[in-house]
Amino acid sequence: MRAGSILALLAGLMLATPAIAQEAPASAAIAPEQKAVLDRAGLIFTLFASAVQDEDVSADEKNGLIRCLYAATLEEVSKATGEVLAKNPQIDTSKPINIYIVAAIVCGARKPGASAETVPQAPAE
C-alpha cells in the first residue's frame, strides 16, 4: 500500500510540474559581461569534460580539474579565467585550447609553463 501512495504522489508531482514551470517569470536580459562569463563557463565545462576523458592528460591534471569543479562554481572559474585573460591580451582567446590552459592553471590543475603536448584536443563544434 505504501508503494502505491508513493507512486500516486510522484504522479501528482509530475502532473503539477508543467504548471509550476509555466508560472516562472521570464528571465531578465543578461548583461554583456554576464553573457561572456556564462559563455566562457560553458566552454570551460566542455573543455574540462573533454580533458577528463582524454588519455593523454595526466591523472594528476584530471584529478585537479575535478577538485576544482567540486570546490568552485563554473561561474567563479570563468570569472577568474576572464580576469587572467584580460590582464594578458597577448593570449589568443579565439582558440579554445588557450582558454583551457588558463582555466586549468587558475584551478591549480596545471602548472604555468607545462608542456602543451598534454593539452586535450578541443571538441569539434
Domain ranges of the chain: 32-118
Average pLDDT, the chain: 82
> What are the pLDDT digits (tens) for 2-12?
555 555 555 55
Over residues 4-29, the mean pLDDT reads 55
CA distance 14 to 10: 6
What global pTM score does this model have? 0.71
Residue 5: other Cβ atoms inside 10 A: 9
Written in H, E and C, the secondary structure of the chain is: CHHHHHHHHHHHHHHHHHHHHHHCCCCCCCCHHHHHHHHHHHHHHHHHHHHHHCCCCCHHHHHHHHHHHHHCCHHHHHHHHHHHHHHCCCCCCCCHHHHHHHHHHHHCCCCCCCCHHHCCCCCCC
